[in-house]
Chain A
């Protein structure tokens, strides 16, 4: 059956049409240069959103149509660059991977910066402590001897061993969901350990014992309390707590 022009369906919703709705976002603002000073405050915006919109789309709408001073990081907007991790309705998520319809748009949706890192402006935090920990575990291939003239070969099984931890996009959702990290920010944090795991269990890498030595620190893997906050927060579905446990086990087998 072909569609006909005579049928006037302008007033009726078409089959498969995306529903539109009003959604309210409560955004945690931090504007040191405004009258608010160093105090953070809540700001509410109500925007028209569609069923396929993500939290990031709503934030864009606020920034482009309501308040241009709203500041947040985003780059690829498709869950790969790891720029827009934020605390949405009390849970760390990527704004670009969270559909509005999945976080109950009937009630105001709270959007805060990730915890445990110094806030610079609105949803933008200083990521330097996070990346400092990442650099400490030496996230690069360490080998000895002459460089081979061809690829460093690895079997599918050897690759599978650390496959899960190669997925990390360094968004800091895990580290900033960790209550131990919140205390004083001295703990290496799940993300650094995940990226150490990625090399420790890589058959081509020879820096395993150095990395284990680094993470054997007082602020290393032993501060993990296995609360699984990191595993729940990871937008890439990495089994973070399991990876930390595997690093712990590697240290114990090395020590005894």
Chain B
């Protein structure tokens, strides 16, 4: 009788790292966190100072105030930079937290999909608002509008 040797499981599967990645992705992400952090400190604190302290302070904030700021390309670029850097910085931070705390790959995938979805929605909407914002809507009461609205 021809005996076939039974399929024996290996005594133990040798330990292996799941996937080898040899790109500079994590290096750049690490560098970006430090660089964007420094830039964000300047952007955010200047933003807070201009909005809440300078001039009449926090009482000045209304539709007209924001419209006045976004009529100038300088504040458009400033706010766009702040939005993008903060979103990339924050998303990347949450990504590392998910990597650190999610124990199963499935959990990791779902959480990251949610994260990237939220990132996309906020960045697209925010960018759209900054560039398509109409400071002088035609049928709005005049006392709410910025001073340069003549219509």
Q: Interface segment, A17-25, A33-41, A54-62, A176-184?
A: A176-184
Question: Of the candidates B15, B17, B23, B29, which one forms a contact with A219 in the assembled complex, judged by CB atoms under 8 Å apart?
Answer: B17
- The number of A-B residue pairs with CB atoms under 8 Å apart is 50
| A216–B22 CB distance below 8 A | yes
| A223–B99 CB distance below 8 A | yes
Which residues of the partner chain B approach A91 to less than 8 Å between Cβ atoms? none
Report A's interface with B, CB cutoff 8 A.
128-129, 132-133, 136, 179-180, 183-184, 186, 213, 216-220, 222-223, 225, 248, 251-252, 255
Known: A128-B15, A213-B22. A222 touches B103 (CB 8 A): no
| B30–A248 CB distance below 8 A | yes
* Alpha-carbon distance A222/B25, docked complex (angstroms): 10
Question: Of the candidates A136, A186, A223, A255, which one forms a contact with B24 in the assembled complex, judged by CB atoms under 8 Å apart?
Answer: A255
Interface of B is mostly: loop
Interface of A is mostly: helix
| B31–A252 CB distance below 8 A | yes
* Alpha-carbon distance A251/B30, docked complex (angstroms): 11
| B100–A225 CB distance below 8 A | yes
Known: A184-B103, A225-B100. A217 touches B21 (CB 8 A): yes
| B101–A183 CB distance below 8 A | yes
Which residues of the partner chain A approach B17 to less than 8 Å between Cβ atoms? 132-133, 136, 186, 217, 219
| B27–A216 CB distance below 8 A | yes
| B22–A222 CB distance below 8 A | no
